[in-house]
Amino acid sequence: MAANPTYVLIPGAGGSAFYWHRLVAELAGRGRDAVAVDLPAGDDSAGLAEYTDAVVDAIGGRSPIVLVAQSMGGFTAPLVCERAPVEMVVLLNAMVPAPGESPGEWWDNTGQPQAKAEMAEREGRPTGGDFDPLVEFFHDVPPDVTDAVFARGEPEQSGTPFERPWPLASWPDVPTRFLQGRDDRFFPMEFQRRVVRERLGIDLDEMPGGHLVALSRPQEVADRLEGYLS
């Protein structure tokens, strides 16, 4: 790999580049160029194709690229590989699509709801009721960082991209790594280990942290990314 690629950071549902702000600062402190992408998540006319356009536009003329995709960003990253000089994909607590599968179908196809409920039961947390982001997403994020995120308001996420099938026939021929927080309550570790093995044919790497590790542990995420480059 080239000595100094650009990290291009794709967020998950809600599409906010702010998710990556601590990691961008950490990478910049190491002399790395990092571009966090805002996706048109609140636009009902925008699906995965438009999300891909947003990432490609953010890349511009930069080359080479390391794509880092969090959560739902796993559906967009491989589409970007078709249109940009991507030398590596790093999936971070991500969804891994199957050909023809929509993001809306992914949940039941993979068994995520059952895996999440089983982890909650093991940890003595309620298994029913409404989704609580403080419990499932922000349980290990520092309070001041959580406050900064919530001060921005709840991000909008259109249902449009969840309705349309993932268009690729297979995962692109690009080196791919998968980094999973072992304390992720939304996509539990053993669930992800199985999905990644079945769909990508690789073993995941694990690190401490929950679903939002770029907010909770940006230094450790940066260490792992730099390790992948070497």
Tell me, yes or no, whether 155 lies in a domain: yes
Residue 49: what pLDDT? 98
pLDDT-derived band at 1 (thresholds 50, 70, 90) equals low
Q: Are 206 and 220 in contact (CB under 8 A)?
A: no
Q: Is residue 93 domain-resident?
A: yes
> Structural domain tally of the chain?
1
Q: Sorting pLDDT into bands at 50, 70 and 90, what band is 3? A: low
Position 15 in a domain: yes
Grade residue 100 by pLDDT with cuts at 50, 70 and 90: very high
Tell me the residue length of the chain.
230
> Quick one: tokens of 219?
């230094």
pLDDT of 119 = 96
Residue 183, pLDDT score = 98
% of the chain residues with pLDDT over 90: 94
Query: Does the residue 1 lie in any domain?
Result: no
How does residue 129 score in pLDDT terms, banded at 50, 70 and 90? confident
Rounded Cα distance between 205 and 207, Å, is 7
Q: What is the pLDDT of residue 19?
A: 98
Q: What angle do CA 167, 187, 80 make, to 5 degrees?
A: 30
Q: Are the CB atoms for 211 and 181 separated by under 8 Å? A: yes
Band (185; pLDDT cuts 50, 70, 90): very high
Under 8 Å CB-to-CB from 45, ≥6 apart: which residues? 160
Q: CATH number of the domain at 188, please.
A: 3.40.50.1820
- pLDDT, mean of residues 215-221: 98
Residue ranges making up the domain that contains 124: 6-229
Q: Is residue 79 part of a domain?
A: yes
Q: pLDDT-derived band of residue 103, with 50, 70 and 90 as boundaries?
A: very high
Predicted confidence at residue 21, as pLDDT, reads: 98
Asked whether the beta carbons of 161 and 70 are under 8 A apart, the reply is: no
- Structural element, H or E, at residue 166: none
73 in any annotated domain: yes
Q: Is 145 within a domain?
A: yes
Please list, in sequence order, all residues whose beta carbon lies within 8 angstroms of the beta carbon of residue 63, skipping any fewer than 6 positions away. 6, 85
* Mean pLDDT in residue range 94-119: 97
Average pLDDT, integer, range 204-214: 98
What's phi and psi for 224, nearest 5 deg?
-65, -45
- pLDDT for 2 equals 57
Give the CA distances from residue 105 to residues 4, 67, 110, 193, in Å, rounded to whole numbers and listed in that order.
Answer: 38, 24, 9, 19
Sign of the alpha-carbon torsion through 63, 157, 139, 78: negative
Q: Strands (DSSP E) along 120-228, which ranges?
A: 176-181, 205-207
pLDDT tens digits, residue range 141-169?
A: 999 999 999 999 989 999 999 999 999 99
Distance between CA atoms of 178 and 165, rounded to whole angstroms? 22
